[in-house]
Each structure stands twice: as C-alpha cells, then as structure tokens.
Structure 1
C-alpha cells in the first residue's frame, strides 16, 4: 500500500484509520462517497476499505482548490497551481495517487461541484464523508446536497469539526449541529476532528 504520509493532505492517520473502519462496515450497505479528494490521501484509507466491503469509493472534487488553497491564502501550494491557467489543479495529483496506490479498480473520481453533482445523483450511499470547502456556503451545500442520499444505518462523517472557535473554522461544526438537530442521525463517536453519525432507520 502507498504510504499516506507521502501524499499531500491534511488527514491525521488516526482519523484515516477510523474512516477505513467505518467504510468497511458501511460499504456493505452501498457505495462510499467522499467530498473533497484533494490529492488522494483519504482515498488511500477509504478505497481499500470499500473494496473489502465489496463496494467502491466515489471521490468528488472540482479540483480547483478550496478557499484556503487559492493564491495568497494560508494553504496555497505553488506545486498545485497551474500558472498557464491561473488556477489550482489537483486532479493530476489525485490520479497519480490512485495509480501508485493500486486503487483504480475501487476508487472512481467524480469531477464537479458538489451541489451540481448532488442534484443529479440517484445512487443510495452507505457512507458520506464531508471534507470539502470550509466556507459556510460550501459546507452547507455539501450537507444539504448529500444527507438525503445516505441509507438507513449508513454513516455521515464530517471532518475538521471544532467546537471551540479558537481551534478552527466554524462551518463543519455548524453542519454537524444541523445533522444532530435534524433527528435523522444518532451520534456514534468523535476521532480527532472527525465527527461520526449514523442514519436512523
């Protein structure tokens, strides 16, 4: 297996292992979807787990970078910036990760905006992992677009949830609160900054 530490990204290994365990279970109920592919670090955990469950991982991203990845922002990476286009471009990095990791049989990249893809999506999902843009508009679109696609007993996992505003941005925390208040989910556990909920029957 390709070492996730060699791939650009922001997922803690403990969180990654937790995601893999969830996908092994929830993948039996339907495909797994992650929102926010970036360069494929999380796919290295989720892809093999989905394969073990007899399913696949759909990894969704527009590949132009989140707000914090743009030129001049805190997490901008010049190596992922296409100067000719004047735009962030992470799709080649993802495809390299999937190739080197031997995951092209179980990880399916979906390139597009989350809300647009969600509006045309019909396949029920065993698990949704939200780790896309951290603006309120982006996080809310991810939650509202995909929460209705999760089957009973399936998993909703949200990354970068910080209850204390001093620790990080608020939008993932706000959509987690929406999920808890919706009555649709039971809380499962928290691993690092990863909040896990299960869809009620």
Structure 2
C-alpha cells in the first residue's frame, strides 16, 4: 500500500491495521511532515508552509492556503504537543501497534519510483490538492500500480476543483480504469486487468 499525504497518521493507522489482517503487506507513507518552524503567515492572514528537504524546497498549502480560524483550531494545537507532524505520525503508528508495517518517508511524490520501487495494490492519494500536484501524484504512482490495483482519491467530488479535474483528465478520460466507486469523499478506481 502507498499513501501520499499522511499528515498525523490517522489514515495510515487504518491502512496499517487492514494490512495486519491481510498479512505480508507493508504501507509506505509519503508526506512533507512539516515542523512548527516551517509554517508562515501570508499577507492575507492565511497560512502556508515551506519544507527544506536537503536543499530541495517544497511548498505546502501555497495554492489553496489555510485560513486563520482552521489553522488555529486544527493545526496549531498539533504543535503545542509536537515539534513536527512526523512526531505525531510516529506516535499514532506506535500506539496502534503497526510500526513494523507502516513506514514514513519525508518527501513528496518524487520519491515514488526513485526510492520507492514496490508494486502497489492500493495507492491512497491525499497530498497537495492542486491540479498539477494531483496529476504528478497519479503519473508517478501509476507505473507502480499492479494490474487490477486500486487508487483511492481523498476529497474527490467535494471542495477541491484540482482533485476533480485531475481525476477527470488522468483517470476517467484515460480508459485505463474500469471500476469507479464513490464513498463519501473518497473515490476508488480500479485499474483494468
């Protein structure tokens, strides 16, 4: 299983627990895992972050920023307890007992195919929701998706035009997928065998 966009590990825990039921399954989790010092306030009062990955600068929430109220309500409290989102992620994975199954990778999807070369039965995409980023995540993950494998898009057909447009352009219009199932804000698509 590959997850792109892990944040504090809630979905990674679910994927890890499911993997324990299947057996012989690992979960690779890719996220920028920003630290408290990576966040900055924009001129309009919203928030974004910038992560330095060994000299490679990656921006987060730069297209669709986080407004002050949700930042203070949902994100700032994380940093009252943890220096980094990775610390919160690791604690969640440890508490769930899936640390031997779930592996975090501090990166963006450029790591897919470069370092991560496994073949995946499920790819869960919940990273940057801009059109270009979702297209890149799809293009990087598809070569490692097994025949008949699934991609799950979080926040599909909800509030994110970039996610929806990328799904239409790269999935629906491609002819490579033959099963589509929408469950709440999750869209599952299966690759043709």
Cα distance in 2 between the residues matched to 1:131 and 1:91: 16
Give CA deviations for 1:130-167 in whole Å, capped at 9, x if unaligned.
011112222122111112210001111111012xxxx5
Match of 2:140 among 145, 153, 159: 145
1:195 aligns with 2:164: no
**TM-score scaled by structure 2?**
0.75
Structure with max Cα Rg:
2
1:124 is displaced (CA, Å) by 1.0
Match of 2:86 in 1: 91
Match of 1:125 among 113, 120, 133: 120
Please give the residue correspondences for 1:2-81 in structure 2 after superposition, counting only pairs within 5 Å: 32-54=1-23, 55-64=25-34, 66-67=60-61, 75-76=70-71, 77-81=75-79
Please give the residue correspondences for 1:148-167 in structure 2 after superposition, counting only pairs within 5 Å: 148-162=143-157, 167=158
8 Å CA contact 1:36, 1:130 repeated in 2: yes
Cα distance in 1 between the residues matched to 2:70 and 2:61: 9
Give the strand-richer structure, 1 or 2.
2
SS at the partner of 1:152? Answer: strand
8 Å CA contact 2:179, 2:191 repeated in 1: no
1:42 is displaced (CA, Å) by 0.5
Match of 1:100 in 2: 95
Structure 1: gaps of 5 or more residues: 1-31, 83-87
Structure 2: gaps of 5 or more residues: 35-48, 50-59
Give CA deviations for 1:93-137 in whole Å, capped at 9, x if unaligned.
1001011111101111111121x2024032111110101111222
Change in CA separation of 1:133 and 1:75 when aligned onto 2, cut-off 3 Å: farther
**Runs of 4 or more above 4 Å deviation:** 68-74
Instruction: Tell me the C-alpha RMSD between the 2 structures.
Output: 2.2
Cα distance in 2 between the residues matched to 1:73 and 1:123: 39
- How many residues align? The count is 160
1:193 is displaced (CA, Å) by 1.0
